[in-house]
Structure formats: C-alpha cells, structure tokens
Structure 1
Amino acid sequence: MTDPIRWGILGAADFAQRHMGPAIHQAEGAVLAALATSAPAKARPFQAFQPDLAVFDDYDALLADPSIDAVYVPLPNHLHVEWTKKALAAGKHVLTEKPIALKAAEIDELIAARDASGRMAAEAFMILHHPQWQRVRHLLDDKAVGRLMHVDAKFSFDNPDMANIRNKPDTGGGGLRDIGVYTFGSVRYATHSEPLAVKARVHWENGVDVYAHVTAEFPDFGYDAMVSTRMFPRQEVTFHGNRGVLKVEVPFNANVFGEARLSLETEGKRVLTERFPGVNHYKLQVENFCTSIREGVAYPCPLEFSRGTQRMIDMVFDAAGPARDTRPSDPTES
C-alpha cells in the first residue's frame, strides 16, 4: 500500500479552515499533518477535525520538517510567488491559492523553479476538478450547441469591508484577481481557446478594481464578462451556439452558492438538465494532486494553464489603463 501524502498548511486562513483543511483531511491518499501559524488560537479549529495536527509557529520551520511531503499556501496574494518558491526550494510539492501570481511573467519563474526542483507546483483552481466543468468541456467538444458563437460569464458578490485583504492594493487585492480567474479560466478550459484581444471598463476603489466589464475576441467566438466585488451575488456562464444554448448554473461555488447544475437547450426547445449534488471539488483537487505526485499522471490544472489565465488578466489591466478611483453610486452606470 502506498504511503499517503503528508500535507502542511502555511497560515491559518479562514478559507483553509472552512474548505481546504477539511478537504485535505478527507481526501483519499492524503493526511493533514501540520499547520504553521504564529497565533496558536487559530490552530484550534483545525485541531477540532484533526487532533493529531502538528503546529509550528514559523513557516520556515514547517518547510524544514522532512516528514512533510506537500504544502498548501493560502497566504495573501502578494506572498504567493515568494512562498511557492520557498516550498519548492525546500523540496516540497506545493499547491498555492489563486491567483498564484500577480503577473504572467512571475508564473514563468514558478515553472522554472518547479522544473528545477523536480516537484509538483500548481494553482488551487478547484473548478477544473469538478465533473460539472468536465461535462461542459465534453459537450462543447461534441458540438452540443453547434458552432459556438458567443460566451457570457458573470461573477459578483458584495464585499464592502475595507479591512479585508481583497480590498487592499498592497496585498494584491481586487475583483479580477479574486474572481476574474473563474470567469476567464473556466471559459479557456471549456473551449480550449485563448483570447486574441480584449477591451475593458474597470471601476476602482482604494486602488483596487471592484467592477470590470470585459469583452474579448477569441478565434471562433465573442466573449462578454462582468466581475464585481460590489454587487449582489450572481454567478453563471452561458455558451451560445447556432444550434443550442448551454447554461452553467452555480459554476464556481458549488455547495456554497447552490447546487452545481447545467442545462442544454436545443432545437424544438428540448432542455436537458444535469445536476451534480454534493460533489466536493476541493477534495477532488487534493486527490488529483496526490495522484499526480504518486503516479506521474498529468494534472488537470498545470502552471502552464494558470499562466494563460493570468495573461488574460494582464491583458484586461493593460486595456483598462492606470488605476484611478471612480466610485460610481451604481457600478453598472458610468
């Protein structure tokens, strides 16, 4: 029997406590073995479901532990590249929260560090591990909507807390980095396609983007996206072809925003609905990562894929121009 992959977590982030910590603990072939945090009280929620957890008060001390095979990095965005490199240099496999970098060129550096280390490194882009998105890709490959002509992607929630790291420019905050990765990455994955050009209208507050309307040209279809961290919660992606419409409902936060499901409407107003109740894409992500380590099989979301999404984010920022506070009363009007 193959020994399980022993995991450590760098930082007691709330997201790690609620989602990724339990996912590592529950995943087949994985053991949540360690946590590094300078605040012992933050370790207690993790110890509630993993009593045998080793707790370090220093990130470097966890990386120096030879019993740890892989680490998960849920630190603020601006620290992702630094600690991914440190984990690889310490001989650990590393799964880092999205966005794994703030510029596409930084991912080139991570690819080089990964290759030099001989270890796995990847961005924690969990939706690609969900059967919902694998099904979407299969349906589009099979021309279920005919010739794909247009894609709409929308993702919004309201986060007005200015103390939150997502609202701070010095920690790599902003809506495009936080949730634009989903509206861009999901479509790139489902269509096997890359944008040729983008246009963008962005609203800023406190130096971070809080609303973005993005249009893009892909080789075979048009694209329209909205991303906002100042609007009522909404998420959906629609693929519109000449013979049908494929709607992906709850495409990003399965089991949190609602039940993952998709509907395919074709000629004669026939509608096929598929549901994916109870699937934990965080757990599947960990299991796929462990399988790639043990068996050397291709990982669904390699750094090369993540670089493409970051390149699209870079294109949007370039198209939008310099950051400037706009603060409209209604971010859909200006």
Structure 2
Amino acid sequence: MGSRYTRILLLTIAAFAVFGTSNRVSAVSPDQTNLAILIDENKINLKFINICVSNLAPPLEEGAGPKPQAGTPTAAENAQAGQKPTGAAPAGQEELYKKLNSIDNYRSFKKANQADFNGNMWYFQSNYSLSYKNLKAAQGEMKDIFQVVHENYIRTARILLEAASPMIIRSNDKIAQHLLKLGFRDLKSSEDNFTSAYNSSPYQFRVKLVLFGEGIKIARRARRFALLAMIAAKTPNDDKAEFQFVNLDDVRNAAEKENISDYDRIRNTLIDYIDNELLSQKISAPGEGKDNPVDLLEVHDDNYSFITNARVSFLEKSNEEIRIDDINRKESLPPVPAQSTNGAGK
C-alpha cells in the first residue's frame, strides 16, 4: 500500500515539474496572441474592402485606366517598413483630397485605417489594452462599410440578372439559361448572408465582417454569371467553342496559342459587343430611370479586383493622411479646467 502511494506522489511531482516548467518557458500572453490575429484580420479586410468601396466613388481621376491593387500596403505596414505618413495631402493634390473628404465612404475608410494604425502602434509598444480598443474601433468602422458595399452588390447583381433575363429567354440558349440560373442562385445566397449579418449581435464585429465579406464574394460571382449569360446569349453558336469543329492540328497547336487571362478575354468580348451594339454598356434598373445606371465594364473590373476607370484607391490616399500624433492625442488625459477667478467658489 505504501509503495502505491509513493508512486502516485512521485508521478504527481513529476507532472507538476514538467507542466510548471513548460508554462514558464513557453508562456505567451493570450492578449498578445489574440491581438496578432486581430491585426492580420484587419489588414486582410482593409485590403479587400478597399477595392469595393473605391469603385463605389464617383470618377475622380479622368483618364486613369483599370489598375490592380493586390500589393497595396496598409498604413501600419508602411510604418513597419520605415515609411512615415505625412498626415496631410501631398502637394498639388489638395483639390483631389478635398473631393475625397466630401465622400462619406472615404471618411469612414480613413477612420478605419487610422484606428488600425493606432492599434498597431500600441501593440508594438506592448500596450495591449489600448491596442485592442483601437483595433476594435477599426472593425466597427469597417463593419458599416462592408454593409454599404454588400447592399450595393446585391442591387447591381439583381439589376444585371433581371436585365439579362428577357434576352436570354428570347435567345433560347441553354448555356445562357444555365448561367442565369446560377446567377440567381448566388444572388439568393448573398441575400441570405446579408440577412444573417444584419441580424447578428450589433457588437460582434468579427461575425458581421465574415458574413458580409462572404456575401460580397458570392454577389460578385452572381454578377460574373450575369455578364457571362449576356455574352452567351449574344454569341452565335458557330462562334462558341462548344460547337466548333476541332481537328488534331488544333489540339497540337493549342499550347502555342496566345495565353490570355479570363479578365482580358471577357473584357475584350464585352467591348466588342458594346461597339457592335449587341450589348448596352450602361443598364438601369426598371423604374429607376437613368440616374444611376450600372456600367458593365466597371462591374467587370470590380469582379476581378481591379480599381476601375477614373477611380482612386482609398487605401493609398488615406495612407497619406494618417496622423502619427493621433495615437497620443486620443489617449491623452483631458486638460485641467481653468479655475475661476471671480470668487464664485468662496
């Protein structure tokens, strides 16, 4: 009996020594770990929504063509690379920044970028409480932007699909009809995501961002199906790859054909059909008049994560207006009220 208790005691001491040492050696603050995840999520969300919200703005740079935004850094990433923000509009661009700051979406995006920058700076100073406060504030601003963008995507997807329906029904094209069905399926799925996000807890920013973000991606896919359905309905069967005769030489020479991306191939087809008046470049919703039409080429650019013609990157522009002193100004104590000298307190 004594030996049994002795063995149990020794095992208990050994387990305590192992786990106690392990905790002391590899201990990581849960705040630090969670904040690192939050920082990465904010970076991904800022870059993702930048393209969407930038394309919602009115034209600001005439003559500027579509441009990709895959490698655009956030203000926090620029700071880590040693690039200090100026905190003001660059010389010669004052008028552009004046127009930008009159746009509600840009002001909200700039607040999110500034709060994310502040959160990163507090994180690297190991002040996890203030870091969390600012990172969550950035999520709160982004949540509102995601909702606005998602609403717009659902609207444009429905306009495109409903506009494509009559021409596809008249054409009796099976491929176009199938693409149209896929588009309406994704539109319904995106609307379900919006409903779930809208009805979720108002302070669960992360949940809302995930649901809105997934809904935006699904709505993008619905818009792609709408454009492809329009193209399929207007393409003669003889020009479709499914109906073309292919011989052995074509198969052998397939690798030698020009390698063109889906983005360029679809864009060139849209431009060709618009020039030949097979498709209208701008489509308006029934009953809305022609005040706010949907541009097919701009939708196509946005679907492939390009900032479209004459638009500017909100992320690039807001990076210039990030204030380094904002981190200290917001977290400093309020000034001490001046004492009255009229003897009222006597």
Structure (1 or 2) with the larger CA radius of gyration? 2
Q: Higher relative contact order by CA 8 Å / sep ≥ 6: 1 or 2? A: 2
TM range (shorter): under 0.3
* TM-score, length-scaled by structure 1: 0.26
